[in-house]
Structure 1
Amino acid sequence: MKTINSKTIVFITGAFVSSDCWGEWRTYFEQRGYQTFAPAWPHKDAPACTLRQRHPDGDVASQRLDKLTDYFRTFVSKLPESPILIGHSMGGLITQLLIQEGLGVAGILIHSLQPQGVFTFKFSFYKAGWPALGFFTDTRKTYLMSFPEWQYAFTNGMPYEAQKDGYYKLLVPESKLLIRDATTAAAKVDFSKPHAPLLFIAGSEDRFIPHSLNYANYKKYSDPNSITAYHEFPRRNHFVLGQAGWEEVADHILNWLN
């Protein structure tokens, strides 16, 4: 059995939300002896309300996946020890890209966005993600998710007040080009390479990244000498980081690391 000795965690935020989404998660793991980081994406180092006021934001709109991956690659490379990487959604995809380069001792992929070549036929995936692609719109302008879109894609099944609270606290404008990049070579993973341990976390109620898509992503890894694990939680939607009972997911991750 492989032992994971690092006590450093880098949380990698997904698209559409502020890095403040990791606040309670950082406290949880720091109370258990870890040093944690949750770097804001380039051009997003401000409160969510401030970033929404800048919409349509040309700087955010220019973000591309290769540059964003390089940003986190540089951040991780400068740390005194190789960290555990925990990424959500687009952050999960970036975690996969970094792990294949040997830049983390373990990767936890929470409802990870699919790499190039991994598909699903679930209608909810296309309904939730299609508007953000921004086809036939100006890519120099950011995409800002509406509240009904947020309710469908992120917070389905939650009480209205909790949906609204998450929207105003965390929602930020996003780059349409970045979302499109997930289908390009910038999102390519070599599933046959040996890799550090990977844990896939999925949610049964996630419409944006359906559990079947997470499972297909997990099953792509084929190196027999590498550790790859999968766990699906019932009643978890795409807002899993802030959804009531998130501690259950954090507990599972901590136990897996230990």
Structure 2
Amino acid sequence: MKRPVVFIHGLWIHSTSWKPWQEHFEKERYVTLAPGWPGDAETAAATRADPSGMAGVGIDAITDSYTELLAGLGAPPIVIGHSFGGLIAQKLLVLGQAAAAVAISPAPIKGIRVLPLSLLRSSFPVLSNARNRRRAVALTEKQFAYSFGNALPPAESAQLYERFAIPGPGRPLFEASSANFRPNAPTTVDTRRCNRGPLLLIAAAKDHTVPAVVVKAAHKLYAASNADTELVEYPERGHSAPFDRGWRTLADATLDWLARRGL
């Protein structure tokens, strides 16, 4: 049996979005888990019905919940995260909680200074109101289509919205937006650390929420370390890449990356 694989979802998407990945990885003899964030319910519908438990939840609380889970697995697992889940995967890796990490369109870590207009527009539904820091905020279907589904046919974007979209805590976006002005920001990752496991950063060229330039900026920050860090970019994909109809392209590439590292 191989190392466990823990999948970490991002903001506004339910953990059930990872189910195809879990089934695919389990065929390759991995044990998989895809736990939700604090306050998530078991299904997307139940989370939409009552998102109050996630209101005010921040990056540190989310990271702590995964740290506690990983500590009970017996051995450091592989962590695979999307968006804010990708940021948290990086934090777990440099903290020594994971053997390897894959970060798909990861939210910006501290030190990234590029600020594309599409990222600002995607964040606007939350950051436009300071009171959202303590609230759970949902995207409309139109906002989802811009932030997640812009590289998809409208019908597919609408279907994904219905299946996986959930409200998300506003606090992580406020923490990320102010990170470069705070000495101990929750988005801080020690990119200089050398004694960590391998990291794969995946960028999507049509991503509005985390544009590829942001992922490339993260990769540059890791240049100060000689640890294994790889960047891959998919030219025709958007922020929905890990859970839209093209998910298997990313999943197979991830499996190949792990196999080449004996994991």
> Do both proteins adopt the same fold according to a TM-score greater than 0.5, normalized to the shorter chain?
yes
Match of 1:188 in 2: 188
Match of 2:116 among 119, 122, 127: 122
SS in 2 for 1:158: coil
| Alignment map for 1:125-140 (pairs within 5 Å) | 125-140=119-134
In the TM superposition, what is the alpha-carbon distance from 1:175 to its structure 2 partner?
A: 1.2
Percent identity, aligned pairs only, is 30
Structure 2 CA distance for aligned equivalents of residues 208 and 64 of structure 1: 19
2:163 equivalent among 151, 169, 176: 169
Shift of residue 224, structure 1, vs aligned partner = 4.5
Answering whether residue 79 of structure 2 is matched by residue 79 of structure 1, we say no
Q: Describe the SS at the equivalent of 1:229.
A: strand
* Structure 1 match to 2:49: 53
**How much is the aligned-residue C-alpha RMSD, in angstroms?**
1.6
Return the offset for 1:33: 1.0
Q: 1:92 to 1:239 in 2, by over 3 A?
A: same
Q: Secondary structure at the match of 2:136?
A: coil
> Per the alignment, in what secondary structure is the counterpart of residue 163 of structure 1?
helix
Q: Amino acid of the residue matched to residue 187 of structure 1?
A: T
Q: Does 1:257 align with 2:258?
A: yes
Distance (whole Å) between structure 2 residues aligned to residue 227 and residue 138 of structure 1: 38
Quick one: which amino acid aligns to residue 88 of structure 2? I
Whole-Å Cα distance in 2 between the matches of residues 198 and 171 of structure 1? 27
Q: 1:13 maps to which residue? A: 9
Query: Structure 1 unaligned runs (5+)?
Result: none
Return the alpha-carbon distance in structure 2 between the equivalents of residues 231 and 140 of structure 1: 35
SS in 1 for 2:233: strand
Match of 1:31 in 2: 27
Displacement of 1:138 = 5.0
Q: Relative to 1, partners in 2 of residues 1:130 and 1:40: Cα closer, same or farther, differing over 3 Å?
A: same
Task: Give the letter for the 1:177 counterpart.
Answer: R
Which residue type is aligned with residue 178 of structure 1?
P
- Partner of 1:217, secondary structure, is helix
Q: How many residues align?
A: 252
Q: Which amino acid aligns with 1:192?
A: R
Instruction: Choose from 32, 39, 42 the match for 2:38.
Output: 42
CA offsets per residue over residues 172-195 of structure 1, 9 Å max, x none? 111111221224311111111112
Q: Which residue of 1 aligns with 2:220?
A: 219
Higher mean C-alpha displacement, 60-69 vs 174-183: 174-183
Residue 256 of structure 1: CA displacement? Answer: 0.8
SS in 1 for 2:101: strand
1-side partners of 2:130 and 2:72: how far apart?
40
Q: Is the 8 A contact 2:39 2:52 kept in 1?
A: no
Alpha-carbon distance in structure 2 between the residues aligned to 1:126 and 1:73: 30
| Mapped contact 1:6–1:83 kept (Cα < 8 A) | no
Match of 1:69 in 2: 63
Contact persistence 2:12–2:165 (CA under 8 A): yes
TM-score, normalization: structure 1?
A: 0.93
CA distance in 2, matches of 1:121, 1:78: 38
Given that 1:58 and 1:140 are in contact with CA atoms closer than 8 Å, whether structure 2 keeps it comes out as no
Match of 1:200 in 2: 201
How far apart are the structure 2 equivalents of 1:223 and 1:75? 30
Unpaired runs of 5+ residues, structure 2, are: 180-184
Contact map agreement 1:52 1:173 (CA 8 A) in 2: yes
Q: What's the TM-score, normalizing by structure 2?
A: 0.91
Partner Cα separation in structure 1 for residue 225 and residue 197 of structure 2: 12
Post-superposition shift, 1:139? 4.0
* Greater displacement, 103-112 / 43-52: 43-52
